[in-house]
Structure 1
Amino acid sequence: MKLVIGCDQGALELKEHVKEVLKEFTDITVEDVGTYTTDSVDYPDIAEKICAKITSGEADRGIALCGTGIGISIACNKVKGIRAALCHNVFTARMSRQHNNANVLAMGGRDVGFGPATEMVRVWVKEKFLGGRHERRVNKIMAIADKRNS
């Protein structure tokens, strides 16, 4: 699996930690689209880079981080084909994959500690979409985006 990861300055430390966690998985390659310093950047710009990699097929999924995770998840969800889930614990990370087929995991660098982030990432990258009734619901979500973005 190819993952793309990015953050603003509010989540730089968390991004670096998550990249270390992802090294545990030999079947995952990671592309880091920034930021690389604590200088201020705009999270919508990072979200756009992450989503472009996914929608072009250059990446399978992404991890998007900002101070709270809220802004970057909103920005990601403006892109057709993206299902970004802002997660705060293992349960929401698991459900975002099983039920919602989330292709972007969003977290906040200022409110999620390294311990919970580690566990969320481990679960999220391994979890599979269950399909069935959930596929019908995800298809309806995507149909809304198709209607609104046409």
Structure 2
Amino acid sequence: MVESVNKVILEGIKQRLELHKAKWADELNNVFWAYRTMSRTATSETPYHLTFGTEAVILIEIRVPSFKVTHFDEGRNGQLLHENLDLLDEVREEARLRTLVYKQKIANFYNKRVRPQTFKIGDLVLRKVGLTGFET
């Protein structure tokens, strides 16, 4: 999973830095924020929501008022945050289950293309030998 995250972050950095390659450190926080606030296919949740129990309000929603911003009630906000935190374990469990279903679908997709092979004693097979000389 770490390799997958690193790949996504590197792609984000490459996209943001086509013009300003020397400023990659300045753009890193923007890339991380984009990664944390984008919904994942496997979980249908954002990493931010799974961590903090609430959705982030992105800067564009403040400049161009959205429903979240225009109907914000500061007095009720604290109570809703506590309710979201109480339900966070359930949200995480649902995300975990959706991830398992997603992985199973991916496995089924690839496994249906596999042709089973059976070998008998005496059949000739091709063996790959690694750099160390040991069979792999």
Specify the TM-score bucket, using the shorter chain as the normaliser: under 0.3
Q: Could you say which structure has the greater relative contact order, defined with CA pairs below 8 angstroms and 6 or more residues apart?
A: 1
TM-score normalized by the length of structure 1: 0.25
Q: TM-score, normalised by structure 2?
A: 0.27
